[in-house]
């Protein structure tokens, strides 16, 4: 579980996060949604420790991030997995090497054990025939699946995904969403996903945090988001013609 | 950044592989261009020297002497380093810069890996082999001078070889290797810095590589002046 209390972050005097408080529960897919520039990526990078927060507290289970020394933070990071928006796969490594990489770097396991664990995860994301391919030889959806495999191979307690289905066709996007949800539930991971894709919200939004201009504008679940009377959320959710039609049918 | 290069090191086995890969990319991959340039520039130096000797009182062995001195003291260590700032330097900046743009460096950091050590340390270690490249350049530069002198009919083989041996001071080679090692550090660190801390997209990778080349060349030229002043004056 991750708990945020009054998180503030600014860049060059511009406040980007203005007192965000939220709880992301384990075994659930927690979505952060909002328009571009609302602070989603900054919040995710703060959670990862890539940005230092100005004030507030972040709790990872019972550990207080702000009170941890550099070594403890490094240890905590080893319990985190991250799926980047552009996958961030290592170009010069094959699929298998990419997935083996974190274990090679951070564990003392033998090569055979590492390879076995990596192959197991690759099979889990249905890429068993792509072991020896380079990232450049894969489609966008396959790259995302490799990124997910690499993120979960260390069996993380926390999984972060930055727009995991951006640039993917709707069908592949749903496959990726469902894969993340299944892995989250199977391993009881606290998963936090940045998204502005309404399909993802409807598919896997167990908990949803809506950000607007760096403020928490709404919090709820996919069941509640359709019937909320929050203007900012409705403005965002029903911005497309498709969603407007769905609302008409729903009403 | 330099502090981060040496703290929290990457696992030995992984680092060994990275170092061998960088030796292949940065050192062995540069031998071809170094050989080509050294041979022909050595030839040009000897032709220019021979053509400027009009006085019959000046001995013909001066062609070999001047070629040796030019190649060992300046051409091989300094100008080869500047040429390598273009080849090796832009390779380092663009490869690290691309990793920055595509979030691969962020991925390393998120995994709890010291990305500076992982990316820059193997490059520094492999560039320590630069004196071998420069040694190779010295040999081929003089060989090129010899070939141009003999086949151009500017001097006899005996005169050229006598000139190469004339008043030879081993300290000049030591001086060349000392400055080569210093230039090697510059070649590894300045381009790495520009790649690692670059911001923006693909276009900025190209700009960072250009800026890195300019700064590396400037620093090499300035250091060359001070090192020469300290070691030879």
> What pLDDT does residue A159 have?
93
Asked whether the beta carbons of residue B111 and residue A105 sit closer than 8 angstroms, the reply is yes
Identify all chain B residues contacting A77, using CB atoms and an 8 Å cutoff.
109-112
Structure tokens that stand for B156 in this block: 């006899």
Structure tokens that stand for B159 in this block: 């005169």
Specify the 3-state DSSP secondary structure of A11. Answer: strand
Structure tokens that stand for B134 in this block: 């420069």
User: Rounded to an integer, what distance in angstroms lies between the CA atom of residue A18 and that of residue A2?
Assistant: 18
Asked whether the beta carbons of residue B102 and residue A85 sit closer than 8 angstroms, the reply is no
Q: Which residue of A has its CA nearest to B11?
A: A105
> What pLDDT does residue A114 have?
93
Q: Nearest CA of chain B to the CA of A242: how many Å?
A: 32
Say if residues B62 and B164 touch (Cβ distance below 8 Å).
no
> What pLDDT does residue A201 have?
82
Enumerate residues 6+ apart whose C-beta is below 8 A from B57.
none
Name the strand (E) or helix (H) holding B81: helix B80-84
Q: Nearest CA of chain B to the CA of A101: how many Å?
A: 10
> What pLDDT does residue B79 have?
94
User: Rounded to an integer, what distance in angstroms lies between the CA atom of residue A116 and that of residue A130?
Assistant: 15
Identify all chain A residues contacting B110, using CB atoms and an 8 Å cutoff.
48, 50, 77, 80, 82
Asked whether the beta carbons of residue A90 and residue B14 sit closer than 8 angstroms, the reply is no
Average pLDDT, chain A: 88
> What pLDDT does residue B10 have?
76
Say if residues B127 and B187 touch (Cβ distance below 8 Å).
yes
Identify all chain A residues contacting B98, using CB atoms and an 8 Å cutoff.
91
> Which among B10, B14, B102 is the nearest to A86, CB-wise?
B102
Residue ranges of chain B with per-residue pLDDT less than 70: none
Chain A residues touching chain B at CB-CB below 8 Å: 48, 50, 74-75, 77-78, 80, 82, 84-86, 88-91, 101-102, 104-106
> What pLDDT does residue B55 have?
79
Q: Nearest CA of chain B to the CA of A249: how many Å?
A: 42
> What pLDDT does residue B161 have?
94
Residue ranges of chain A with per-residue pLDDT less than 70: 251
User: Rounded to an integer, what distance in angstroms lies between the CA atom of residue B228 and that of residue B233?
Assistant: 7
Inter-chain Cβ pairs, chain A and chain B, closer than 8 A: 46
pLDDT tens sequence across B60-104: 889 999 999 999 999 999 999 999 999 999 999 999 999 999 989
Identify all chain B residues contacting A85, using CB atoms and an 8 Å cutoff.
103
> What pLDDT does residue A30 have?
93
User: Rounded to an integer, what distance in angstroms lies between the CA atom of residue B228 and that of residue B216?
Assistant: 18
> What pLDDT does residue B104 have?
93
Asked whether the beta carbons of residue A78 and residue B112 sit closer than 8 angstroms, the reply is yes
> What pLDDT does residue B45 have?
94
Identify all chain A residues contacting B112, using CB atoms and an 8 Å cutoff.
74-75, 77-78, 106
Q: Which of B203, B218, B209 is nearest to B191 (CA)?
A: B209
> What pLDDT does residue B124 have?
95
Q: At what angle do helices B90-101 and B202-232 cross, to 10 degrees?
A: 140
> What pLDDT does residue B111 have?
86
What residues 89-118 of chain B have any CB closer than 8 A to a CB of chain A?
Answer: 98, 102-104, 106-107, 109-113
Q: Which of A223, A186, A188, A229 is nearest to A208 (CA)?
A: A223
Give this complex's ipTM.
0.83
Asked whether the beta carbons of residue A50 and residue B11 sit closer than 8 angstroms, the reply is no
Domain spans, chain B: 11-232
Instruction: Walk me through the domains of chain A, giving residue ranges and CATH numbers.
Output: 2-79+156-250 (3.40.50.300), 90-155 (no CATH)
> What pLDDT does residue A108 have?
87
Structure tokens that stand for A122 in this block: 């690759």
Asked whether the beta carbons of residue B113 and residue A105 sit closer than 8 angstroms, the reply is yes
Sign for the CA dihedral angle at B203, B209, B212, B214 comes to: negative
């Amino acid at each position: 579980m991750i708990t945020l209390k009054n998180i503030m972050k600014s860049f060059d005097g511009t406040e980007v996060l203005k007192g965000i408080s939220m709880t992301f529960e384990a075994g659930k897919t927690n979505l952060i949604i909002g328009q571009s520039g609302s602070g989603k990526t900054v919040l995710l990078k703060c959670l990862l420790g890539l940005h230092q927060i100005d004030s507030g507290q972040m709790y990872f289970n019972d550990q207080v991030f702000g009170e941890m020394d550099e070594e403890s933070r490094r240890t905590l990071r080893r319990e985190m997995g991250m799926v980047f928006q552009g996958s961030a796969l290592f170009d010069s490594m094959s699929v298998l090497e990419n997935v083996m990489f974190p274990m090679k770097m951070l564990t003392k396991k033998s090569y055979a054990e590492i390879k076995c664990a990596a192959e197991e995860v690759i099979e889990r994301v249905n890429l068993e025939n792509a072991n020896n391919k380079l990232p450049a030889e894969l489609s966008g959806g396959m790259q995302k699946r490799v990124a997910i495999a690499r993120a979960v191979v260390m069996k993380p307690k926390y999984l972060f995904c930055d727009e995991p289905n951006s640039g993917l066709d709707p069908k592949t996007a749903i496959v990726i969403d469902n894969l993340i949800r299944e892995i989250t539930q199977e391993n009881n991971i606290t998963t936090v996903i940045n998204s502005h894709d309404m399909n993802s919200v409807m598919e896997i939004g167990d908990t949803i945090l809506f950000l607007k201009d760096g403020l928490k504008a709404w919090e709820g679940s996919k069941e509640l988001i359709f019937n909320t009377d929050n203007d900012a959320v409705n403005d965002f959710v029903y911005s497309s013609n498709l969603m407007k039609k769905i609302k008409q049918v729903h009403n | 950044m330099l502090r981060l290069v040496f703290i929290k090191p990457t696992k030995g086995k992984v680092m060994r592989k990275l170092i061998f890969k960088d030796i292949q990319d940065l050192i062995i991959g540069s031998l071809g261009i170094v050989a080509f340039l050294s041979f022909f520039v050595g030839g040009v130096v000897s032709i220019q020297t021979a053509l400027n000797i009009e006085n019959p009182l000046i001995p013909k062995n001066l062609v070999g002497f001047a070629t040796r001195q030019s190649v060992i003291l300046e051409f091989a260590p300094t100008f080869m380093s500047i040429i390598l700032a273009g080849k090796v330097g832009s390779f380092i900046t663009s490869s690290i810069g691309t990793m920055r743009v595509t979030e691969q460096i962020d991925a390393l950091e998120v995994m709890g890996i010291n990305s500076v050590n992982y990316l820059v340390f193997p490059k520094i270690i492999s560039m320590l082999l630069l004196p071998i490249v420069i040694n190779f350049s010295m040999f081929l530069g003089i060989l090129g001078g010899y070939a141009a002198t003999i086949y151009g009919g500017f001097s006899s083989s005996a005169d050229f070889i006598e000139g190469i041996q004339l008043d030879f001071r081993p300290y000049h080679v030591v001086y060349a290797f000392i400055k080569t090692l210093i230039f090697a550090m510059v070649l590894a660190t300045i381009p790495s810095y520009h790649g690692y801390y670059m911001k923006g997209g693909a276009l900025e990778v190209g700009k960072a590589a250009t800026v890195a080349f300019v700064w590396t060349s400037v620093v090499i030229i300035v250091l060359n002046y001070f090192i020469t002043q300290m070691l030879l004056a």
